């Protein structure tokens, strides 16, 4: 029997921006579970990147998938030495504010649930190697985009964004209010489309 995770899929994603409605078809062929998770994560990483760029931030992909793309497959097989763990846990984005001359490293995570869970081992590596980085969570309710500095988060299995996180604009104050609203709608629609995909089960753990 053919593995459903490896069959060709198409997601029809309604997106609303500047009061105009369009549909984007994202076609992913021969997905494995690993590539499925990577695809989902990249969608929301790109969404956050564009949101910040529209508000005037300089955003550069920082994760090892980008910086070391030619050897990322081999890096995934390396042992758990401190160097390997630091490389594999590199935050997704470098965000520079040319007004304040401040630079921040950002990790982007998505969950389709209101009380997301985070893999403790992964989070421990963030705390150990990237304690001053910021975790941005994309969630399908209220403000949608939430953020918190890694060193301000206690190590636990489950987080409540209402009490453990801030609205992303409280940390990145240049973010445009209208863009936050518009991209929040896009994020909700993306999450809903992924939940409705018959081959996907909604996951509580952050992607």
Which positions ≥6 away from 56 have C-beta within 8 Å? 98, 99, 174
Is residue 206 very low, low, confident or very high in pLDDT (cuts 50, 70, 90)?
low
**Token pair for residue 190?**
């993306």
Average pLDDT, the chain: 75
Cα separation, 106 vs 109, whole angstroms: 10
pLDDT recorded at residue 195: 74
CA 10/CA 45 separation, integer angstroms: 20
Strand-strand pairing, 93-97 and 102-110: antiparallel
pLDDT digits (tens, 9 = 90+) for 38-70: 455 588 999 999 999 999 999 999 876 655 555
Q: Rounded mean pLDDT of 104-112?
A: 92
Which domains are seen in the chain, by residue range?
4-196 (3.40.1350.10)
The pLDDT tens digits of the residues spanning 110-135 come to 888 777 777 777 788 888 899 999 99
pTM of the predicted model, to two decimals?
0.74
Per 3-state DSSP, what percentage of the chain is helix, strand, and coil (rounded to 5)? 40, 25, 35
pLDDT of 182 above 70: yes
Residue 114 has a pLDDT of: 73
């Amino acid at each position: 029997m053919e593995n459903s995770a490896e069959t060709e899929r198409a997601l029809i994603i309604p997106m609303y921006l500047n009061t105009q409605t369009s549909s984007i078809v994202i076609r992913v062929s021969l997905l494995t579970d690993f590539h499925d998770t990577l695809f989902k994560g990249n969608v929301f990483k790109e969404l956050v990147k564009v949101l910040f760029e529209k508000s005037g931030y300089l955003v550069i992909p920082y994760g090892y998938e980008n910086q070391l793309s030619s050897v990322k497959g081999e890096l995934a097989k390396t042992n758990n030495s401190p160097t390997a763990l630091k490389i594999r846990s590199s935050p997704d984005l470098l965000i520079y504010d040319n007004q304040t001359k401040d630079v921040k490293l950002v990790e982007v995570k998505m969950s389709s649930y209101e009380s997301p869970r985070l893999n403790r081992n992964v989070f421990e590596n963030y705390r150990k190697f990237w304690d001053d980085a910021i975790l941005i969570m994309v969630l399908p309710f209220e403000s949608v985009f939430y953020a918190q500095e890694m060193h301000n988060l206690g190590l636990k299995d489950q987080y409540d964004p209402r009490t453990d996180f801030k609205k992303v604009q409280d940390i990145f104050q240049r973010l445009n209010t209208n863009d936050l609203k518009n991209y929040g709608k896009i994020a909700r629609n993306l999450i809903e489309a992924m939940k409705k995909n018959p081959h996907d089960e909604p996951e509580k753990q952050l992607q």
